[in-house]
Amino acid sequence: MQPNDIARVQAYLRKTFGNDNIDLAPPERPEGPSEMSINGEFLAIIFRDDDDGDISFSLNMSILEEDL
C-alpha cells in the first residue's frame, strides 16, 4: 500500500468506527499489506487489491480462541 492509500483507508476506518486511535502502519514491502492497530495493539492486516483498475481494500482480522 502506498502512503496515499494508507491515509485514505485510515481516515475511512476512523470515521466508520468512530475511533481516532486506529492507526495503519506502512508495509514492510512496497506491495505488502498494512497492519492495523488500536492504541498500539495489532488487530488486523489490510490488503490492497487492484483487479483491472478496480481498486479495493480488504481487512483480515483473526480472533484467537484464547482472546475470547
Contact predicate 48/38, CB 8 Å: no
pTM of the model: 0.87
Among 61, 42, 58, 41, residue whose Cα is nearest residue 50: 58
Average pLDDT score over the chain: 94
Each residue's pLDDT tens digit, 5-16: 999 999 999 999
**pLDDT for residue 53 is more than 90:** no
